[in-house]
Structure formats: structure tokens, C-alpha cells
Amino acid sequence: MAALWEDILHDEQLVQHVVPIAVDAALLEGVLMRTKENPNASDVVNYAPFTLLPSAVMRALFEQAYGVQQDFNLLVDTISQNAEFLEHTLANTIKVDDFTSQLFKIYKQVLKDGVTQSVFLGISRSDYMFDHHADGTSALKQIEINTIAASFGGLTSRTTAVHRQVLNVLGKSKEASNLLTNNPSKGIAKGIAKAWELYGSGSAVVMFLVEDTQRNIFDQRCIENELWNRNIQVIRRMFKDVFEKASLDNDKRLYMDGKEIAVVYYREGYVPKSYNKQNWEARLLLERSRAVKCPDIATQLAGTKKVQQELSQPGVLERLLPNKPEAVARIRETFTGLYSLDMVGTKSMVSAAVLDFLKPSTDCMLLGNNLYGEELKQVLEKIKNSPERTSYILMDKIKPQPAKNYLLRAHSPLKISECVSELGIFGVYVRQGTDLVMNKHVGHLLRTKAVEHADGGVAAGVAVLDTPYMI
């Protein structure tokens, strides 16, 4: 794969010529982020980081990732309806992890009060890497499935055009025409629109629940604008606003500033720092409402790493998806080794550090807390006799084959890097009662980072946006 653009990558003069063209193309296409210095202002913005050239992806693995997404949609929806499974799977985690415990308390309270929500919307992104084997073959292996606030569906919808322009300028028009059209923001908006329609109130609005710091606002605006184009009104609010101004009527309809809310689309609320006492109260109010939550709290719990680890155990998928052996086989083929530390003895736990990978069970959305190598061994030693260890999951380290590329970031020196990529597939489903009325894959996201970075996403400033080039 390293040889895909070899004629360009080592032509320094050509690279220097095309980089400013690529940056201008990104700005023209709206591949934008606000700056760290002014995260809530759009009068000074810059391009979101991206690769100079598309990265090679094996067509068979790409198609496999697309082919299994509807199975994962069904699986997540099934888990969200299975209170017994969630309670059993998360029993140890909620004893030692405050964040999961608080989510679970709200979940149990909603079940006790009676679920008033009748329409359910799932927007997820299943992330994979390509595990390269000694015999030269590669396999698709799932890192995680993001069931809340799956981002970059908007910006990646615009990145393909940038790479197409770059290839055209480089005289590779044939290769440019081979890049696949990709518009997750449109598919995500279709899912939200369907949920809004089924809610059944033409005057109701969609509420984006957002963070107080909004560097990635343009990614959200792509989806927002798709909804406005469908004449669906969108408002943007924070937890603080919900706590201060939201209310429920006698039928548990949710109101904000006098507007009835049909859909709450979470782009916030996925990490512990999102919450204080007031924000937890706001979350409970939202979950008690009739509004369609994306995700509802059960679906957020279904995306935890502890659930992912439990799914890898023999017979679990078969119990959750009875009479669907083909779906079970497709899902299981993407699994890598996942190990629960509450089942591993102290000595074997430390020796298991050779697996080189540790993830907190609640870290199912962000890739900011993975541990490798010596750091992993130190943490294992520290928690080996502590109940805290039950909140972690060991995962076999996936070893993708590196390829060379240029990672373009504002105000950063231009240099060629050894890189690895991560492929995400966006999935959308809508359920009304027990009827699954929509189940789709709606696009992809390719993120690429230099091999020296063990972890990190685009928003974290490590990975950059990319476009897959099929080989």
C-alpha cells in the first residue's frame, strides 16, 4: 500500500506545489473547524486536518465493513431492549465506575417509571482497523462501536471532493474518478427526519444537545442544514439550558422555550466531564420524556466496552440474535480478542500485558485512554488488587500495515509520515414500538494518524480526515 502514490510522495517540488491547492480546496468545500484559541467563534476558522492523498483500503475489507453494519444496528437495538442482559453485563462495572453507575441509575429509574418514548433512533459508527498478518493477508477487526455522538459524518461528506481535486491537479483524473461518493450527513439527517415524522407533531422541533465548547460545529451544521432543507426546525441547546428551561407536560411531552421537542440528538453527554449535579438532573428529565432520544440511555449503555467484551463470549450473540446465524457469523468475524480483568488472576493479568492494549470499559466513544506497552504494564500492576480493574477491558493489539502520507494541519511543518488508518461505518436505524422501520448503513469515515501516536482522534488533534482509495 505504501507504493500507491510513490511517484508523488517522494517528489518534494510537486508536493510543495499541490499542498496549498489542497488546503484551498478544503476551505472551499467547507472542511472546517473552529480554532483552539476561539472555539466558540466562527469569524476565525481553519481547515480541519486531512491527508494530502487518499489512503489505500482493500475493497474486500471495505465491503465487509459495510455488509455487517445493518447486523450491528440490529444487535445494538436488541441489546437496548434487553434489561436483563444490560444489568448482568454491567453489574461489576457499575460498582467501581461512577459514570456508568450514574447512567445505569437513570436507566433503572426510567424503567421503573415506565418508558414513554415509542420511537427509537440509533445513529452509530462502528470503527475498524486492518490487522496485517505475516502471510501478507489482512483482516477487518472492530475497535469499538460508538452509539452516542458519533462525529465527523458531516466533514467526511466533503473530504472526498478535496482529494478528487488534488488527484486531478496531479494528473490522476482516472484515479480521482474512482473515489467513492460518500455523504453520511445526508443519511444521518434522513434517520432524524424519519424519527421526527413518526413522532407525529408537525410543529415540533429537533434539539441538538451540544457542548459549551464547539470547535466541531461545522460537522454538526452539515446535518443540521440537511434537516432545515426538509423544513424541519432545529434548535441547539446545552445541558445547562435544559436544566433551567425545559419542562414536561402531563403526557411527558418535552418543551424548551415554548417549543415541543420531537427529537433530542446528543452531541454531548458521552464522557464523565460532561456532567455535574444539574446536568445529571437534566439528563433524567430528557430520558423521562416522550421525545425521541438519540440515543436513549439504554442504547448508550449498549455501546460500553464491557458490553463489547461480553458479546465476544461464546454463545452470547446466538442468545441475543436467535435464528440469525448468518448475522452472528458476520459480526463475530470482526471481533478481536477481548478479555475481562475481573476474570483474570493477578499473575496472569500482568503477564497479559504482552497483549499491549487496555481500554476503560466506559471509553466506548473516545480514543483518548488506550494504554500500550510499558504504560500498560504499570497500570496493570497498579490495579491488579483493586476492584477498579473490573472497569477495564484488555484487547488484543491490532497491527495494521503502515503506509506513507502527508498529514496536513494548520501551522504545522510539512513532513512525510508513516501512517495507519481506521475505518468507521455509519449506521442508522429507527424503531417504532417493536417494528424496525429503518435499518441502513449511510456512509463511512476514514481517519489516519502517524504510527508514533498510539491513540487519538481528529478532534484530539492526532488523527486526520482521509478518503479511502479502493485496491
374 is in an annotated binding site: no
362 is in an annotated binding site: yes
214 is in an annotated binding site: yes
260 is in an annotated binding site: no
144 is in an annotated binding site: yes
409 is in an annotated binding site: no
60 is in an annotated binding site: no
In the numeric block, the cell 465487509 is attached to 64
In the chain, how long is the greatest CA-to-CA distance?
69
Among the listed residues 201, 58, 207, 69, the one whose alpha carbon sits nearest the alpha carbon of residue 137: 58
369 is in an annotated binding site: yes
449 is in an annotated binding site: yes
168 is in an annotated binding site: no
215 is in an annotated binding site: yes
143 is in an annotated binding site: no
192 is in an annotated binding site: no
207 is in an annotated binding site: no
**Dihedral pair phi/psi, residue 53, rounded to 5°:** -125, 150
Distance, CA of 271 to CA of 293 (rounded, Å): 17
331 is in an annotated binding site: no
Which amino acid type is present at position 48? A
216 is in an annotated binding site: yes
468 is in an annotated binding site: no
469 is in an annotated binding site: no
DSSP calls for 295-319? T-HHHHHHTSHHHHHHHTSTTHHHH
360 is in an annotated binding site: yes
Q: C-alpha distances in angstroms, 345 versus 17, 221, 386, 416?
A: 57, 49, 12, 44
29 is in an annotated binding site: no
CB 437 within 8 A of CB 73: no
150 is in an annotated binding site: yes
Residues whose CB is less than 8 angstroms from the CB of residue 16 and which lie 6 or more positions away in sequence, other chains included: 414
125 is in an annotated binding site: yes
447 is in an annotated binding site: yes
237 is in an annotated binding site: no
CB 334 within 8 A of CB 128: yes
CB 338 within 8 A of CB 308: yes
363 is in an annotated binding site: yes
37 is in an annotated binding site: no
466 is in an annotated binding site: no
- Is the peptide bond prior to 295 cis by the omega test (within 30 degrees of 0)? yes
DSSP calls for 123-158? EEEEEEEEEEPTTS-EEEEEEEEE-S----TTTHHH
343 is in an annotated binding site: no
231 is in an annotated binding site: no
436 is in an annotated binding site: no
164 is in an annotated binding site: no
Residues annotated within the binding site for Mg(2+) are: 144, 146
Q: Which residues are annotated as a binding site for ATP?
A: 144, 305, 359-370, 372, 395-398, 422, 449, 455
Annotated binding site for substrate: 125, 148-151, 214-216, 220, 267-270, 447, 458-459
User: Could you tell me which residues are annotated as the binding site?
Assistant: 125, 144, 146, 148-151, 214-216, 220, 267-270, 305, 359-370, 372, 395-398, 422, 447, 449, 455, 458-459
